[in-house]
Amino acid sequence: MLRTSNESIDAKLLALCLLAVGLMTLAACSSEPKEDVSQKSTPGTFDAMALSLTDPDHVAGREIWMNTCQTCHLRGLTGAPMIGNKEAWKPRIEKGLDTLFNHAINGFIGPTYSEMPPKGGFAELSDEEVKKAVKFMTFASK
Ligand code: HEC
């Protein structure tokens, strides 16, 4: 008797497991993962110092970027578009520099709810410094 009931428990468990696997497969098929272009280039491989820059704004911007924005924009942390990833930056650059200045200074939440915090969280930066960092990052990502 005991043996039979154990077997039926085993059978129920097996059925449950199969059901769970089935549901997981269904879920995996039905939810099309959104393509995240910000994660496309190899994270952390961009060498900002290797760029030869002529515009003094870009030179100053690089300095600021290295000390602040790099935290997220080098490796794509929290969904930040990675520097040098042309595909990720193209639609952003198309918004125009003024919009990007505004979003970098005042903060911006994108369509996938990833957040660019105001000044990247570096409140001590002046608006001009943030603008230079934006100019550098977009220049390096074209
Ligand atoms: C804490 C992480 C973090 C830091 C630090 C950070 N960013 Fe961002 N940034 C993000 C994220 C995440 C996004 C993408 C938001 C989205 O989904 O569109 C973003 C997007 C942007 C954009 C594109 C905005 C748009 O309208 O498409 C610009 C420009 C930008 N950041 C500039 C900067 C600059 C300049 C700095 C340094 C002063 C900086 N970021 C530092 C996380 C960061």
List pLDDT tens digits, range 47-86. 999 999 999 999 999 999 999 999 999 999 999 999 999 9
Instruction: Specify whether 16 is located in the same domain as 77.
Output: no
Q: Which domain holds residue 93?
A: 37-139
With a cut of 70, which residues of the chain have pLDDT below it? Answer: 1-41
What lines the ligand 1 site, CB under 6 Å? 68-69, 71-73, 77-81, 92, 95, 100, 103-104, 108, 110, 112, 114-117, 119-122, 125, 130, 133-134, 137
Contact 84, 140 (CB under 8 A): yes
pLDDT of residue 45: 85
pLDDT of residue 29: 46
Contact 120, 104 (CB under 8 A): yes
pLDDT of residue 26: 47
Instruction: Specify whether 60 is located in the same domain as 4.
Output: no
pLDDT of residue 42: 77
Measured from the CA of 65, which atom of ligand 1 is nearest?
37
Measured from the CA of 129, which atom of ligand 1 is nearest?
38
Instruction: Specify whether 110 is located in the same domain as 124.
Output: yes
Listed residue (68, 87, 88) closest to 79, CA to CA? 88
The pTM for the full model equals 0.78
Instruction: Specify whether 25 is located in the same domain as 47.
Output: no
